[in-house]
């Protein structure tokens, strides 16, 4: 690290990168914390929305039960009569009226008991008080949490027991009409749904501070425990927005969400103190801070590593230039190149040294291989019987006074051997085709009127560089294995054309087929480099020389033709041009 920072250009880069990474890290940390806070606030709002929905559903359920009870009253004449006895009477008057109108053959119906069993679940439901009013007073039936019933008679309507506050609960008013004359109103029902019982069902909801606010501004505190909570809830209810932030003190703020009941006259308000939320989620925020800090440190270490790698590449460039100046092409450990200027220069210099070394080795090894190949060609491929038979043909021409044929045969044979000796190891493909043509002309002398050959090679292939004297062994295979001396038409065709990605040379004949097992053996011999197989050593030598010269893009295949004979396909890469 110390030596790294001593380089001025890298020291400046490191300082700039460090400042950039710290700024980006702080920005990402702040954005992440803001997103988390927003998510937590949204979760609190969803929790409050669920609690509000729970209250609304409970109140609606109670309202539906009250409507069902009113239908029950009007559908039961005995119950209507008992309601009328209860209305406006004292306790003695109610009991006396019930006894006077009772019949031994009818069950005695009790309005308070019917309310208790049907409407208040035996005193354990949300409805804790039912009162029946005239214009001046009302009689009350109360149910405590133990299911006990308490009665109050002749209570003035102005009494505090009938005062409607959100602390006591929600009041449902229903008119009591005469069943025989609907337009005539006998009195009024008032059903009190307890706020305590309604809001106690919200204990499982995660509410920080919440309350219900009446139109008069009265607050029923659902969650929270001090006057500050009530003040915030009142401020949120009076704000007019359905959600937002309230300033609490100098720096602190509180988020609120307000839900207005559409069926009942109250607002449900939820408050989230931001400072309390941050303290509550401090462990998560600490983890975020540590993650961002670790990320910044990791990025800075990566920057240091990259800059050090650039420095190493600079030294490698200098070293490569020194090796090139001293002609030291010995292989070195491979480098991991960077995608920058240093990496490009280092890669090109290493590639240049590698290509120079490869070129030197290729030419040297090619000469060695060429010498070996020429030896094998003299020993195995240029068959002494071919030369002997050719001389015998020339001798027979001389004895038969065929001076022109004798002269052509001698000239062709001499030209063939002269070109073999004269040409360099690397020649154009057109020269290689000339050597093959001289060889095929000699074979015409050997098999007069029984052998023919054709050339169909595109001009684009004639200038391609290739190794010397590799086509003759492929053609000789035809005369050794596929030629039929008794046939009057033995044909050898050489085709060559250019394709999109390669050049193709094809040598085909109309001789004998090769069995599939023998084809498989020949192909295996070519690919595995088995020089011990004397049956296909000519093909193997050709394959080795061409593969060594053209590299991985070269390919040679041997197949049977559909009608007769075999076909040897040689694929040369486009790089050969």
Q: pLDDT at position 364, please? A: 61
Q: pLDDT at position 468, please? A: 85
**Residues recorded for the chain:** 577
**549 within domain boundaries:** yes
Find where tokens 């043509």 sit. 437
419 near 435, Cβ under 8 Å? yes
Q: pLDDT at position 380, please? A: 47
Question: Phi/psi class of residue 252: alpha, beta or left (left: φ > 0; alpha: ψ in -120 to 50)?
Answer: beta
**156 within domain boundaries:** yes
The sign one gets for the Cα dihedral 541, 543, 547, 549 is positive
Q: Where among 155, 179, 199 does a domain terminate?
A: 199
Q: pLDDT at position 446, please? A: 77
Q: pLDDT at position 529, please? A: 57
Domain assignment of residue 177, given as a range: 76-199
**539 within domain boundaries:** yes
Q: pLDDT at position 184, please? A: 84
**409 within domain boundaries:** no
Q: pLDDT at position 532, please? A: 46
**171 within domain boundaries:** yes
User: What would the pLDDT profile of 170-225 be if each residue is shown by its tens digit?
Assistant: 999 999 988 888 788 889 999 999 999 899 888 888 888 999 999 888 999 998 87
CATH code, domain carrying 460: 3.30.565.10
Q: Where among 168, 199, 230 does a domain terminate?
A: 199
**115 within domain boundaries:** yes
User: How far apart are alpha carbons 19 and 346 in whole angstroms?
Assistant: 30
- Quick one: DSSP state of residue 249? T
**285 within domain boundaries:** no
The sign one gets for the Cα dihedral 453, 454, 458, 460 is positive
Residues forming a β-bridge with 272: 255
**89 within domain boundaries:** yes
Q: Where among 165, 199, 233 does a domain terminate?
A: 199
Low-confidence ranges of the chain (pLDDT < 70): 1-7, 103-107, 122-123, 314, 327-343, 346, 360-361, 364-365, 367-387, 389-390, 529-537
Q: How many domains does the chain have?
A: 2
Find where tokens 């400072």 sit. 275
User: How far apart are alpha carbons 205 and 426 in whole angstroms?
Assistant: 89
Q: pLDDT at position 338, please? A: 55
User: How far apart are alpha carbons 143 and 129 in whole angstroms?
Assistant: 6
Helices (H), 76-120: 77-86, 91-100, 111-114
Closest CA to 507 of 561, 459, 469: 561
Token couple for 79: 């119950």
Radius of gyration of the chain (CA): 54
């Amino acid at each position: 690290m110390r030596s790294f920072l001593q380089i001025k250009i890298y020291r400046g880069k490191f300082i700039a990168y460090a400042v950039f990474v710290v700024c980006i890290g702080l920005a990402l940390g702040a954005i992440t914390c803001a997103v988390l806070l927003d998510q937590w606030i949204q979760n609190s709002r969803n929790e409050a929305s669920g609690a509000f929905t729970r209250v609304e559903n409970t109140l609606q359920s109670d309202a539906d039960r009250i409507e069902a009870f009113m239908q029950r009253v009007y559908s039961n004449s005995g119950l209507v009569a008992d309601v009328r006895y209860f209305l406006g009477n004292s306790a003695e008057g109610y009991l006396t009226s019930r006894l006077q109108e009772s019949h031994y053959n009818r069950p005695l119906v009790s309005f308070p008991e019917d309310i208790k069993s049907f409407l208040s679940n035996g005193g354990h439901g949300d409805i804790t008080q039912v009162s029946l009013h005239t214009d001046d007073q009302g009689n009350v039936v109360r149910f405590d949490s133990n299911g006990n019933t308490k009665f109050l008679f002749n209570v003035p309507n102005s009494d505090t027991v009938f005062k409607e506050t959100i602390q006591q609960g929600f009041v449902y008013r229903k008119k009591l009409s005469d069943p025989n004359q609907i337009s005539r109103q006998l009195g009024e029902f008032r059903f009190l749904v307890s706020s305590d019982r309604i809001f106690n069902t919200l204990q499982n909801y995660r509410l920080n501070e919440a309350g219900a606010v009446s139109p008069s501004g009265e607050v029923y505190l659902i969650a929270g425990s001090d006057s500050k909570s009530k003040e915030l809830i009142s401020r949120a209810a009076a704000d007019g927005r359905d959600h937002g932030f309230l300033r609490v003190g100098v720096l602190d703020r509180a988020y609120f969400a307000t839900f207005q009941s559409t069926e009942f006259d109250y607002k449900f308000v939820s408050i989230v103190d931001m400072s309390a939320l941050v303290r509550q989620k401090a462990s998560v925020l600490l983890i975020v801070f540590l993650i961002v800090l670790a990320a910044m440190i990791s990025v800075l270490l990566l920057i240091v590593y990259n800059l050090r790698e650039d420095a190493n590449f600079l030294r490698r460039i200098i070293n490569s230039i020194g090796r090139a100046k001293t002609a030291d092409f010995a292989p070195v450990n491979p480098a991991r190149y960077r995608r920058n200027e240093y990496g490009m220069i280092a890669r090109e210099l290493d590639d240049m040294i590698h290509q120079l070394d490869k070129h030197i080795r290729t030419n040297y090894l090619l000469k060695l291989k060429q010498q070996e190949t020429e030896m094998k060609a003299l020993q195995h491929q240029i068959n002494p019987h071919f030369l002997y038979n050719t001389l015998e043909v020339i001798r027979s021409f001389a004895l038969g006074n065929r001076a022109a044929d004798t002269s052509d045969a001698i000239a062709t044979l001499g030209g063939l051997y002269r070109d073999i000796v004269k040409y360099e190891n690397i020649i154009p493909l057109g020269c290689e085709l000339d050597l093959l043509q001289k060889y095929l002309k000699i074979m015409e002398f050997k098999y007069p009127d029984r052998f023919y050959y054709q050339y169909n090679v595109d001009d684009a292939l004639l200038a391609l560089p290739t190794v010397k004297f590799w086509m003759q062994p492929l053609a000789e295979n035809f005369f050794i294995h596929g030629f039929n001396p008794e046939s009057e038409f033995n044909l050898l065709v050489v085709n060559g054309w250019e394709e999109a990605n390669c050049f193709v040379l094809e040598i085909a004949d109309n001789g004998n087929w090769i069995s599939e097992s023998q084809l498989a053996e020949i192909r295996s011999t070519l690919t595995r480099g088995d020089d011990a197989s004397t049956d296909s050593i000519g093909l193997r030598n050709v394959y080795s020389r061409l593969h060594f010269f053209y590299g991985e893009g070269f390919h040679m295949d041997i197949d049977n033709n559909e009608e007769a004979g075999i076909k040897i396909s040689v694929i040369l890469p486009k790089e050969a041009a």
